[in-house]
Structure 1
Amino acid sequence: MSFFNKLIILLVVLFTVLWEAPCAISSRNQIGEEFIIPFQKTHVVVYNFLEGLNNFTIHCMSKDDDLGSHVIGPEDNYDWGFRSNIWGTTLFFCGLSCPYGSGTFDLYKGERDRERCLVCQ
């Protein structure tokens, strides 16, 4: 195969990839059409709006990261950022305790939240 034929094939492949890429990484959400950059950093913010100006303690972790325990004061917040994995299976779960009770919940699930928020509040 001549150099010219290889160049033509390369250009066709490159054109096809560039043409299809925006379709593969865009999605529609509540705001409308949005361009999603793969592996874009997600920022999570947890606010304390408990009545009675009470503190609460939160301990979040994923399979790979333990963020430790944090006491969140009245009208304060705790935040962190991360990049979701390529399979969309990133999971951050948190234990929360306050004067009203305690529990554990999934704060961020890649399958559910990946296209829903980049700043999750």
Structure 2
Amino acid sequence: MAWFIRNAMLLLILFSLYRINICDTDEGTLLIKRRFVRVTNDLGGNLTLTVHCKSADDDIGVQVLPPHASFGFNFRPSWIFSTQFYCSFQWPNTFKWFDIYDNRRDAPHCSKCWWRIVPNGPCRFNWYDKTYEVCCQWNKD
């Protein structure tokens, strides 16, 4: 039994050290770093983009973006790394949707996740190269 308790304590300490590594202090409390998502209308053709983003817990609401306009939102990911926000995107005669933030996909690459919305799919900003080169396909209907 002592072996189990010792190993459980070691595992708890290792997990705590891992959590400290990905956390920062905010008002004196140890918390997971906030994430920021920005969406920009780059459809072209003077098209207005209607965006509605939500997660299992939060509804960001409907945003109407004229050409080249942006909107953003921030949040704290779940401590179990399951946070996911999806958005619907509408412009004349088109309806698409995409997981705009998936913790497993995005957490290693961005705490500020900037997306350009183009007709072929969203493109995420690569902070290393300073380009929107990480382009994705729309989610299947």
Shared fold (TM-score greater than 0.5)? yes
Matches within 5 A, 1:1-121: 21=17, 24=18, 36-37=22-23, 39-99=32-92, 101-121=94-114
* Aligned residue pair count: 95
Q: Which one-letter code corresponds to 2:43 in the other structure?
A: L
Instruction: Look up the SS of the partner of 1:111 in the other structure.
Output: helix
Give me the whole-angstrom Cα distance separating, in 2, the residues matched to 1:64 and 1:98.
26
Q: CA deviation at 1:92?
A: 0.3
Structure 1: runs of 5+ lacking an equivalent: 1-16, 27-34
Structure 2: runs of 5+ lacking an equivalent: 1-12, 25-31, 115-141
Identity, in percent, stands at 32
CA RMSD, 1 decimal: 2.3
Give me the whole-angstrom Cα distance separating, in 2, the residues matched to 1:111 and 1:52.
34
Give me the whole-angstrom Cα distance separating, in 2, the residues matched to 1:117 and 1:68.
23
Q: Which one-letter code corresponds to 2:51 in the other structure?
A: I
Segments of 4+ in structure 1 off by > 6 A? none
In terms of fraction of residues, the more helix-rich structure is: 1
Q: Which has the higher contact order (CA 8 A, sep 6+)?
A: 1
In terms of fraction of residues, the more strand-rich structure is: 2
Which of these two proteins has the greater Rg computed from alpha carbons?
1
Instruction: Look up the SS of the partner of 1:112 in the other structure.
Output: helix
